């Protein structure tokens, strides 16, 4: 017989299994953290540093301007970018990888 306690225990187990399966599947894809898009502008090559604690607004604004002028997508590697007061120019496409 299924009661509330066993139902909660089983659903918690399924949720935990789903989390581990998601991490395992990401590990099965080699190089996903270093993935890039063909023809895109890589933020690292411009000088942006994911996870840096300083404000990177000027470099990010330059990156967006270059991407708009070239009509090229921008690739953001995994991480956090500290920026503020940015205006997105026309034809800017941002893409990245989770993480």
Domain boundaries, the chain: 1-30, 33-99
Residue-level pLDDT at 3: 72
SS3 15: helix
b/e code 56-73 from CB counts within 10 Å (16+ = b):
beebbbebbeebbeeebb
Q: Encode the chain (99 residues) as per-residue pLDDT tens digits.
A: 667 666 566 666 555 555 454 444 444 445 544 455 677 888 888 888 888 899 999 999 999 999 999 999 998 888 888 999 999 899 888 887 776
What count of Cα atoms within 13 Å lies in the side-chain half-sphere of residue 77?
17
Residue spans of beta strands (DSSP E) within 1-99 = 41-42, 74-76, 94-96
Residue-level pLDDT at 94: 86
Predicted TM-score (pTM) of this structure? 0.59
């Amino acid at each position: 017989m299924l009661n509330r306690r066993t139902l909660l225990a089983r659903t918690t187990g399924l949720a935990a299994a789903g989390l581990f399966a998601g991490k395992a599947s990401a590990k099965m894809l080699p190089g996903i953290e270093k993935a890039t898009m063909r023809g895109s502008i890589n933020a690292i090559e411009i000088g942006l540093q994911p996870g840096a604690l300083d404000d990177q607004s000027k470099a990010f604004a330059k990156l967006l301007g270059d991407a708009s002028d070239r009509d090229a997508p921008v690739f953001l590697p995994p991480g956090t970018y500290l920026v503020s007061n940015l205006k997105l120019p026309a034809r800017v496409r941002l893409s990245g990888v989770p993480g």
